[in-house]
Structure 1
Amino acid sequence: MSTPTIATAKEIFDLLHDDLLEIEREFETAAVSRVQVITEIAEYLREGGGKRIRPLLLLLSARSQSYRGAGATRLGAVVEMVHTATLVHDDIIDAADMRRGRPSPNTTWGNAKCVLAGDWLYMQAFRVALDERNFRVLDLLIGLTQQMVEGELMQLETLGRQVNSQEYYDLIYRKTACLFEVSMRLGAVLAKATDAEEECMGEYGRNLGLAFQIVDDVLDLTATEEVLGKPVASDLREGKATMAVIHALENGGAEERAAILTVLEDQNFERVSHDQILAALKRNGSVEYAMNTAFEYAEAARQALSFLPESDYKRALLWVPDYVVAREK
């Protein structure tokens, strides 16, 4: 497989500049409701920005398979609306105060209004997707929504306790990787790819999404609040065991395991400090283990693209895994 010549995020965004602007316009237009508070919440969320990696993947998937129609920008807005709706619900479930360095919407509008605004965004995403008149598109989006809801419910059932690696992978697939996978599959569907080609694009998205979430979980433990835009170690404070923590629980000594389980059960750092947890992770090489696993998934994502012809879009897709594992927030 050739080495990508695209080497920066700016080059990718320049490559897709017009499409991404059109996605923003589509999102902005679609997020307007006759009920003013829905429009206000949706606009606040849209203006909060984010990486827009999911619509970017959909665009790259479609363009790398020679699709040039307007459906890619339409469905790019759809996947970003679905993602945004999940963030609204996540903040309520997690009782979060901050999102991307700004107050989370539930702190301004309250939980009840934000739950309903999130529901509205889900339904609006499906309404926009209907314009494609494609049952496979709807099938993918329905399956995606079900998986994400299942992931949230599964996570609620695991809070405050040790989970094994398989449980963790099931969770992060449903909560994160399935949306990456579906974004790639939607691009393939637009391009009228074969079942085998769609499967390869989905495999890329699944592996990339797993790498993305593993890195996200590591950053939650190790980055600063200024970089993250939210409190550090939020996962542990919410009773969530992520990959590095699971590794330390499975490989650490009795005292280390007891300390980690105390934080998970207490859902705070009152009896055991964040620094003590970081020290336990360091002694057991747990952060390195998690990052190495993320690198492996990133490489598996790249390998899934071997069937694609050479193009700037393929080169961009080959570069994205490097960005995912090297990012700092």
Structure 2
Amino acid sequence: MSLSPTFTAKDVFDLLRDDLAAIEAQFERGTVSNVQAITDIGAYLRAGGGKRLRPALLLLSAKLMGYTGTGAVRLGAVVEIVHTATLVHDDIIDEAETRRGRPSANVNWGNARCVLAGDWLYMQAFRIALEERNLRILDVLIDLTQQMVEGELLQMEKLGKCVTQQEHFDLIFRKTACLFATSMRLGGILGGATGDQERKLEEYGRNLGMAFQIVDDVLDLTASEEVLGKPVASDLREGKVTMAVIHALERCTPAERQVIETVLRERAFQSVSIPQVQEILARYHSIEAANAAALEFAQAAREAICTFPDSEIKRALLWAPDFVVEREK
């Protein structure tokens, strides 16, 4: 059965335009504090843009279940605030100097202020979520936050080391796909989804998130600094191995392995150049292998929701995996 819908990004934007605008307004209100530093950091982070993909997924999930209330806007802002908090903390941990083509918040305000601002954003997200007066929603958000923190800690333990593909998949689930899955679950909970429906929505989000992160990691190795808004091969510079690199490490010669391990050890391209690593990846078709894995996850996402009744919302959800795997930034 073909699951490829005829849909465009503009179609999805038009479908969600009013709700996304309402989420943006809620996001703005939700990042204002009596402490000026928090308000300033919040405004800077919002101005950095972003695809707002996670709130869009929550909206689509809720609409798929026939939900028409205001809770989807509220929780859409919640997942975007949580996502923003993770970015703040990630940049501090990774010692990143750029985010989306401009200085990261920690460069402008310092690590101490940004750690506290990130903490405040997490708490603010829970405060807004409390307005739903739904303990299941809080339970799901708590589980999400714990998974993401555990993922960050696990990644720190693996920095500079070669990991297996399964270990890598576990990391990207915790750090990325878990929030996609949670966004879909929250929309389902608002819409009164059955247990089976909620499981399918969560599976869709998980697979879409896995595809998203694999493509993100490939772009880190193949796109330009102008497109990325950060240095090329930032993951390797930070001691992180991603799927394409793991694929090559499982197949390369001891000498080639040493080249990659040197970058991981030095946390920089000093003794080794970026083209040297890219040549190894090309030799074993590792970029193609990673892209193929992303396509498999994208297809699994489509199949997870194939039993839901046909609708404009379902077609938008079936389109999203194409957007994720075909994007160039």
Is this a same-fold pair by TM over 0.5? yes
- Give the Å deviation of 1:47: 1.4
Name 1:233's counterpart in structure 2.
233
- Give the Å deviation of 1:4: 4.9
Name 2:128's counterpart in structure 1.
128
3-state SS of 1:226 partner: helix
Name 1:190's counterpart in structure 2.
190
- How many angstroms apart in 2 are the aligned matches of 1:17 and 1:43? 21
Name 1:327's counterpart in structure 2.
327
Structure 2 counterparts to residues 208-227 of structure 1, below 5 A: 208-227=208-227
TM-score, length basis structure 2: 0.99
Name 2:292's counterpart in structure 1.
292
For 1:82, give the aligned amino acid: V
Name 1:159's counterpart in structure 2.
159
- How many angstroms apart in 2 are the aligned matches of 1:3 and 1:217? 26
Structure 2 counterparts to residues 82-93 of structure 1, below 5 A: 82-93=82-93
For 1:235, give the aligned amino acid: D
- How many angstroms apart in 2 are the aligned matches of 1:328 and 1:58? 24
What whole-Å deviation, never above 9, does each CA across 1:86-121 have from its counterpart, x for those lacking one?
Answer: 000000001111100111011111000000000000
- How many angstroms apart in 1 are the aligned matches of 2:26 and 2:296? 35
Name 2:273's counterpart in structure 1.
273
- How many angstroms apart in 1 are the aligned matches of 2:93 and 2:55? 25
Determine if contact 1:211/1:297 at 8 Å carries over to the other structure: yes
Structure 2 counterparts to residues 21-32 of structure 1, below 5 A: 21-32=21-32
| Most deviating of 202-211 and 302-311 | 302-311
Name 1:20's counterpart in structure 2.
20
For 1:13, give the aligned amino acid: F
1:204 lines up with 2:204 in the alignment: yes
For 1:55, give the aligned amino acid: P
What whole-Å deviation, never above 9, does each CA across 1:251-281 have from its counterpart, x for those lacking one?
Answer: 1112111111111111111111100000000
- How many angstroms apart in 2 are the aligned matches of 1:196 and 1:271? 53
- How many angstroms apart in 1 are the aligned matches of 2:147 and 2:248? 28
Name 2:61's counterpart in structure 1.
61
For 1:60, give the aligned amino acid: L
Q: Give unpaired runs (5+ residues) of structure 2.
A: none
1:41 lines up with 2:38 in the alignment: no
Structure 2 counterparts to residues 310-321 of structure 1, below 5 A: 310-321=310-321
**C-alpha RMSD of the superposition:** 0.9
What whole-Å deviation, never above 9, does each CA across 1:267-310 have from its counterpart, x for those lacking one?
Answer: 11111110000000000010000000000000000000022111
Equivalent residues, number: 329
- Give the Å deviation of 1:3: 4.8
- How many angstroms apart in 2 are the aligned matches of 1:7 and 1:266? 45
Name 1:179's counterpart in structure 2.
179
What whole-Å deviation, never above 9, does each CA across 1:101-156 have from its counterpart, x for those lacking one?
Answer: 11101111100000000000000000000011111100110000000000110010
Name 1:105's counterpart in structure 2.
105
- How many angstroms apart in 2 are the aligned matches of 1:165 and 1:228? 24
Determine if contact 2:3/2:302 at 8 Å carries over to the other structure: no
- How many angstroms apart in 2 are the aligned matches of 1:24 and 1:277? 40
Determine if contact 1:4/1:316 at 8 Å carries over to the other structure: no
3-state SS of 1:66 partner: coil
Name 2:306's counterpart in structure 1.
306
Name 1:168's counterpart in structure 2.
168
For 2:292, give the aligned amino acid: N
- Give the Å deviation of 1:161: 1.0
Task: Give % identity.
Answer: 66
Determine if contact 1:65/1:308 at 8 Å carries over to the other structure: no
- How many angstroms apart in 1 are the aligned matches of 2:274 and 2:248? 14
3-state SS of 2:206 partner: helix
For 1:142, give the aligned amino acid: I
- How many angstroms apart in 2 are the aligned matches of 1:218 and 1:9? 22
Q: Give unpaired runs (5+ residues) of structure 1.
A: none
- How many angstroms apart in 2 are the aligned matches of 1:22 and 1:132? 17
Determine if contact 2:5/2:318 at 8 Å carries over to the other structure: no
TM-score, length basis structure 1: 0.99
3-state SS of 2:131 partner: helix
What whole-Å deviation, never above 9, does each CA across 1:146-172 have from its counterpart, x for those lacking one?
Answer: 000001100100001101111101100
For 1:124, give the aligned amino acid: Q
For 1:255, give the aligned amino acid: A
Instruction: Provide runs of 4+ in structure 1 moved above 2 Å.
Output: 1-7
